[in-house]
Amino acid sequence: MHLFYTPDIQPSHPQYFLNEEESKHAVRVLRLELGAEVQLIDGRGGLYTAQIKDAHPKRTILQITNVITAYGKRNHYLHIAIAPTKNLDRLEWFLEKATEIGIDEISLIICQRSERKEAKTERLNKIITSAIKQSLKAYHPVLNEGISFNKFIAKSFDGQKFIAHCEPGVKLNLKEELRHGGNCLVMIGPEGDFSPAEISLALDNGYKALTLGESRLRTETAALEACFEVNFLNR
């Protein structure tokens, strides 16, 4: 069944009108006709089943036939703060795969050793939207605009906070530390890693040093590894 992302849909309304872009895709590309069934997701946990009442290429009318709330809601909250990679394709790859696996919030942090100082979130959000449609996720992860490391570290977070880095020293692993069903924030640094000053500041602000294994991982790989571990340990 074909799936559409409809963030403005309201559960109490029996009908929904696809915008022109989605209507054109439904009628001209997918060639859906009167009576065809489709699914809709609102990004807030709602999964809708609907039937086409008017297959118009500019304003297709849908009749809502079923609504499931909190569809696929997970028992935990995962926030990953990641330094944008020099090659933006690698960040896009992470966002796509992390969305498919399961993630709630992503923050882009600009660090002392960051080679990329900005990343346009409009395109990155489209990557996320495509991934939730592909993997049938009813929740759309939040993508925050880029922010400096110092400003981000000063923000409060109600849950466990970790910083993964490559500097020597005592580090914890998620298998032993992660609280099942809780909120978790993991920070992943740029290609050159966090600076010692940044690591020290994070520890002073309640973060715990984290290991993701013996291998030296790329930024996007480390972030995805953390995403996988948190989801796996919360099963």
CB contact at 8 A, 66 and 1: no
- Residues of the domain holding 19: 2-68
From the list 139, 4, 14, the residue with the least C-alpha distance to 69 is 139
- Please tell me the pTM assigned to this model: 0.94
Residue where one domain finishes, among candidates 43, 68, 93: 68
State the CB neighbour count (10 A cutoff) for residue 16.
20
Specify whether 152 is located in the same domain as 37. no
Give the residue from 68, 89, 109 where a domain finishes.
Answer: 68
Residues 133 and 152 in one domain: yes
Same domain, 64 and 86: no
Nearest residue to 148 (alpha-carbon basis) of 215, 99, 104, 195: 195
User: Is there a single domain that holds both residue 90 and residue 33?
Assistant: no
- Whether residues 215 and 155 share a domain: the answer is yes
CATH number at residue 28: 2.40.240.20
- Say whether both 189 and 220 belong to one domain: yes
pLDDT tens for the chain, 235 residues: list them: 899 999 999 988 999 999 999 999 999 999 999 999 999 999 999 999 999 999 999 999 999 999 999 999 999 999 999 999 999 999 999 999 999 999 999 999 999 999 999 888 999 999 999 999 999 999 999 999 999 999 999 999 999 999 999 999 999 999 999 999 999 999 999 999 999 999 999 999 999 999 999 898 999 999 999 999 999 999 9
CATH number (domain holding residue 103)? 3.40.1280.10
Give yes or no: residues 45 and 23 share one domain.
yes
Residue at which a domain ends, from 50, 68, 86: 68
The answer on 95 and 59 residing in a single domain is no
Residues 64 and 138 occupy one common structural domain: no
pLDDT at 11: 87
Question: From residue 92, how far is each of 16, 49, 50 by CA, in Å?
Answer: 31, 30, 31
Task: Write the Ramachandran bin of 211: left for phi over 0, alpha for psi from -120 to 50, otherwise beta.
Answer: beta
Do 82 and 63 belong together in one domain? Answer: no
Same domain, 62 and 40: yes
- What is the total count of domains within the chain? 2
